[in-house]
Amino acid sequence: MKILLKIIRLFPPEVAHSIALYSLQTLYQLRLINIFFPKLHDEELEVFGMTFANRLGTAAGLDKNGDFIDCIGALGFGFVEVGTVTPKAQLGNKKPRVFRIFKEEAIINRLGFNNKGVDYLVKKLKRRTFRGIVGVNIGANKTSDGQKRIDDYIECFNKVQNYADYITVNISSPNTPGLRDLHSSDNLKKLIGAIDDVIKISGYKKSIFLKISPDENKESINEIIQIINNSSFTGLIISNTSIDKKILKDKKYHTYEGGLSGKPIMNKSTELLNLIYSNDPSIPLIGVGGVMNNKDFQDKINSGAQLVQLYTGFVVKGPKIVADILKE
């Protein structure tokens, strides 16, 4: 498998990503996936009113369109989050838009919510056989702003609510112009208020999370906590990618546009997680950002996360990372 991983890395990032996932899907269809990647026996746990096989899941972005839910779930993840999905299909930003920095176990991406649209994803959710927890990460189309941007979130929410075990509202991608403006108090209140209204009308009872940026200051974070606590939202996912590339050792990448993920943001995202938990231990938290091994996984939990997600670690380490984290 190490040799195969090295071969896959020779391809351009997005091609390599597709090759890896379609290879896993083939192994799953041939019922060979757990021969190559043995699934550990888990002790189920109740979190946020849901039953999870374990605390480790995938972050949004690994499977944007729900094409690979079953084979990813078969690797032993406790839950799978798909998306980010938008109302209309969109191609995303121009290529090249993904840059792998293997020496630092990092990725810079400026994908821009490339996906096949919410209707396509719903079809995939209906057909899934994975019986574990599946969350859906929702966003807005690049061409939407103002009220139309809020309408995009509402449309996605309405279409996925019956097929998702939980929903994540993504306001923190740095690759959609103006999206992070939703972190401001006034803008966030409008968005959360609109979603709250829909929740009341629809009778939605499942969990819903807000995924935020690791680049917010303390004042902004305190405002976000207050808004969430006064809403129907369950909690927060900490965090998305960072626009601070200066934490990379290789100065070549300091001026690259896009969001940084992987090992370099482990400390930053975990410090934010700990800050929020310290301010309000009652708020439910999912930790993500820089998880590469069992120690990182435990650090997230010790900093207040009840569940942990990964993405870049999966790209860097391959599927064996699941067992490596959970067996220790």
Catalytic residues: 173
Token pair of 204 as six digits: 């939605």
Q: Nearest-CA neighbor of 245 among 130, 99, 137, 131?
A: 99
109, 142, 143, 150, 171 from 146: Cα distances, Å:
25, 12, 10, 7, 13
| Distance separating alpha carbons of residues 271 and 118, to the nearest angstrom | 33
Non-local (6+) Cβ contacts of 68 within 8 A are 21, 24, 25
Query: How far apart are the two ends of the chain, measured CA to CA in Å?
Result: 21
User: Facing residues of 137 across strands?
Assistant: 83, 168
**Of the candidates 325, 328, 326, 321, the residue with the CA atom closest to the CA atom of residue 37:** 321
